[in-house]
Structure 1
Amino acid sequence: MNRIKEVLEQKGIKQTWLAEKLGKSYNMVNAYAQNRQQPRLETLMEIANILDVDIKDLIISNKEIN
C-alpha cells in the first residue's frame, strides 16, 4: 500500500503532472495512486525524488495496517 495520492493532494500536485515527470501514462500513475497497482521500488524512489519527500512518506507501514 502506498500514500502517493495523499502526498500529491498535500502538495497540490496533479497526477497528470507526475505522469509527465515520470514518463509514464496517466493511467499508470492513477493505478499507483488508487493502490490498484504498486510501483517498483525504483519507480517509488523516482516519485519520492520528484515530489521531494522521503521514500518512507510514500509507504504505509505494515504495522499500521494490522
Structure 2
Amino acid sequence: MNRIKEVLNAKGISQTELASRLGKTFNMVNLYTTNRVQPPIHILYQIAEILDIDVRELLVPNKLK
C-alpha cells in the first residue's frame, strides 16, 4: 500500500501533473494512487523526488510499534 494520493493532496499537485512529470499516462498514475497497481521501486523514488519527500513517506508501514 502507498500514500501517493494523500501526499499529492497535501502538496496540491494533481495526478495529471504527476503523470506529466513522470512521463506516464494519467491512467497509470491513477492506478498507483488508488493502490490498484504498486509502482516499481525506481518509479516510487521518482515520485518521491518530484514531491520533494523521503520515499519512506509514500509507504504505509508494514509493522506498527
Q: What stretches of structure 2 of length at least 5 have no aligned partner?
A: none
Q: What stretches of structure 1 of length at least 5 have no aligned partner?
A: none
**Structure 1 match to 2:32:** 32
Alignment of 1:1-66 (within 5 A): 1-64=1-64
**TM-score (norm. length: structure 2):** 0.96
1:63 deviates by 1.3
Q: Deviations over 1:4-53 (max 9, x none)?
A: 00000000110000000000000000000000000000000000001100
Stretches of 4+ moved more than 6 A in 1? none
Paired with 1:46 and 1:12, the residues of 2 have a C-alpha distance of 18
State the identity %: 58
What is the Cα-based RMSD across aligned positions, in Å?
A: 0.6
